[in-house]
């Protein structure tokens, strides 16, 4: 089975000062997207920044970004509906109006370092329903084991997502969420038995948990997410040079595991992407 590689190049938390290679302008993002596609990424999880490199959910910029990445690459465009911990719910819902192929949908509230990443049940229900109406495929973000129980409840009460396929992403090693360990990943994978047949998963480990989570995901039939949203250290005392460096490593480890990177076309079919 091939490995789907998602790149999360920017995020909302890392600053350009701490990581000068972080893509924060549209031009930088498009360059990163093209490089990462050439190396084996098939999905891009996008957060954008304003002119001062601060996180923003400005709808005009999100539309422009979606169009620019589509024009320059064949990547599946997944916009973050999580934004930054300070973003209000109505702005997070409005992300869907930028017309992405996919959007993230976090399945519960979680402590997030010194902050709280708030995801009320009714907000999740609204996000899921709007994505169904608009034909946008969700990636359900799982920061803790209980989020999988919430997803089971959501699908049971409100039905399958657009496209009919369920794909989740285990975001591991966030201070306040589940640990980034092989044991935690296997516990999550075990809970997928309660979700629809054929549910797929990716995993990403924050910071130093990147490599153990990558290895555990490949060994258990999962897919990969990597990028500077999740880690800015390539190895001890070695800053990440670019998102391409992280995708190249993921693709090479995936090949070693006999799980070569999946093309965007095959990823579209796997994920049930409804658009073009
Ligand atoms: N930036 C985090 C608060 C998502 O993109 O949906 C939320 C996050 C998840 O990154
Ligand atoms: Zn994100």
Each residue of 220-237: pLDDT tens digit? 999 999 999 999 999 999
**Cα separation values, 151 from 48, 180, 205, 240, Å:** 27, 20, 21, 33
The tens digit of pLDDT for each residue in 56-113 reads 999 999 999 999 999 999 999 999 999 999 999 999 999 999 999 999 999 999 999 9
Find tokens 């975001």 and name the residue: 171
User: Count of residues for the chain?
Assistant: 276
Q: Which two tokens stand for residue 83?
A: 């934004």
Task: Give residue 43 CA to ligand 1 midpoint distance, Å.
Answer: 16
> Which ligand approaches the C-alpha of residue 107 most closely?
1
* Helix or strand run (H / E) with residue 77: strand 76-79
C-beta of 100 in contact with ligand 1 (< 6 A) = no
Q: Which two tokens stand for residue 99?
A: 């017309």
* Residues contacting 196, CB < 8 A, separation 6+: 155, 160, 166
pLDDT(243) > 70: yes
Closest residue to atom 4 of ligand 1, CA basis: 82
The tens digit of pLDDT for each residue in 105-161 reads 999 999 999 999 999 999 999 999 999 999 999 999 999 999 999 999 999 999 999
pLDDT(274) > 80: no
Closest residue to atom 10 of ligand 1, CA basis: 82
Ligand 1: which atom is nearest the Cα of residue 45? 5
SS3 call for 171: strand
C-beta of 182 in contact with ligand 1 (< 6 A) = no
Give, as one character, the DSSP assignment of residue 195: S
Confidence of residue 28 (pLDDT cuts 50, 70, 90): very high
User: 47 burial class (0-12, 13-18, 19+ CB within 10 angstroms)?
Assistant: buried
- Rounded to 10 deg, the angle between the 210-219 and 243-256 helix axes is 40
**Cα separation values, 273 from 101, 247, 270, 276, Å:** 7, 22, 8, 8
Mutate to test the pocket of ligand 1, among 11, 44, 54, 83 (most ligand atoms within 8 A of CB): 83
* Residues contacting 61, CB < 8 A, separation 6+: 26, 48, 50
CA dist., res. 206 & res. 133, Å (int): 32
pLDDT at 171: 99
C-beta of 12 in contact with ligand 1 (< 6 A) = yes
Cβ < 5 A residues, ion ligand 2: 80
What does the buried/exposed string (b/e) look like for 104-121 if buried means 16 or more CB atoms within 10 Å of the residue's CB? bbbbbbbebeeeebbbee
Task: Give residue 44 CA to ligand 2 midpoint distance, Å.
Answer: 10
pLDDT(269) > 90: yes
C-beta of 227 in contact with ligand 1 (< 6 A) = no
pLDDT at 276: 58
pLDDT at 32: 98
Give, as one character, the DSSP assignment of residue 152: H
């Amino acid at each position: 089975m091939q490995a789907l590689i998602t790149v999360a190049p920017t995020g909302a938390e890392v600053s350009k000062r701490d990581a000068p290679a972080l893509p924060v302008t549209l031009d930088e993002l498009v360059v990163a997207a093209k490089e990462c596609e050439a190396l084996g990424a098939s999905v891009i999880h996008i957060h954008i920044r304003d002119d001062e490199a601060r996180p923003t959910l400005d709808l005009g910029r999100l539309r422009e970004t979606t169009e620019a990445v589509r024009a320059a690459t064949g990547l599946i465009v997944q916009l973050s509906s999580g934004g930054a911990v300070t973003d209000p719910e109505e702005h997070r819902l409005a992300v869907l109006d930028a017309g992405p192929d996919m959007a993230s949908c976090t399945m519960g509230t979680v402590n997030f370092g010194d902050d709280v990443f708030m995801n009320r049940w009714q907000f999740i229900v609204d996000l899921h329903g709007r994505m169904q109406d608009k034909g946008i495929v969700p990636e359900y973000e799982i920061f803790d084991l209980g989020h999988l129980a919430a997803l089971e409840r959501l699908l049971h009460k409100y039905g399958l997502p657009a496209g009919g396929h369920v794909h989740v992403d285990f975001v591991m090693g966030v201070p306040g969420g589940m640990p980034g360990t092989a044991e935690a990943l296997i516990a999550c994978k075990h809970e997928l038995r309660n979700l629809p047949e054929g549910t797929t998963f990716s995993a990403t480990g924050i910071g130093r948990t990147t490599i153990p989570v990558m290895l555990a995901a490949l060994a258990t039939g999962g897919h990969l997410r990597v990028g500077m949203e999740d880690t800015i250290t390539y190895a001890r005392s070695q800053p990440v040079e670019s998102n391409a460096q992280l995708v190249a490593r993921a693709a090479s480890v995936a090949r070693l595991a006999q799980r070569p990177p999946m093309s965007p076309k095959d990823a579209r079919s796997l994920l049930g992407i409804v658009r073009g």
